[in-house]
Amino acid sequence: KAGVTQTPRYLIKTRGQQVTLSCSPISGHRSVSWYQQTPGQGLQFLFEYFSETQRNKGNFPGRFSGRQFSNSRSEMNVSTLELGDSALYLCASSEGQGSSEQYFGPGTRLTVT
């Protein structure tokens, strides 16, 4: 099976702009989770989607949002970008029922200037 794919791989944005990141899970997986990784805070959970519904949410401001489509692909959006949003954004795919193992994509490296 193909792994988790994320696009774009690299992104440079300016403060105040918004950005949309995309994730395609492993075929057959219905759960997609998003994480932010920074040197200072490590890996932090943003949110999880299962069958187009947000099932879990982390402690991030409302500027961070996401959605999932009927084919399980997911997008996350960050509005009004801040310098502190510079990070590696990781998407993880899981079957979503009965199995909690999550498999990460390669990530999107976002730089906010």
Residues of the shown chain interacting with another protein in the complex, contacts defined by CB under 8 A: 31, 33, 35, 42-45, 48, 50, 55-56, 58, 88, 90, 92, 94-107
Shortest Cβ 55–another protein spacing (Å) = 6
In whole angstroms, the minimum distance from the beta carbon of 48 to another protein comes to 5
Q: What sign has the CA pseudo-torsion 15, 63, 89, 10?
A: negative
Q: How far apart are CA 52 and CA 49, in angstroms?
A: 6
Of the candidates 81, 68, 69, the residue with the CA atom closest to the CA atom of residue 34: 68
Convert 60-91 to b/e letters by CB count within 10 Å (16 or more is b).
beeebbbebeeebbbbbebeebeeebebebbb
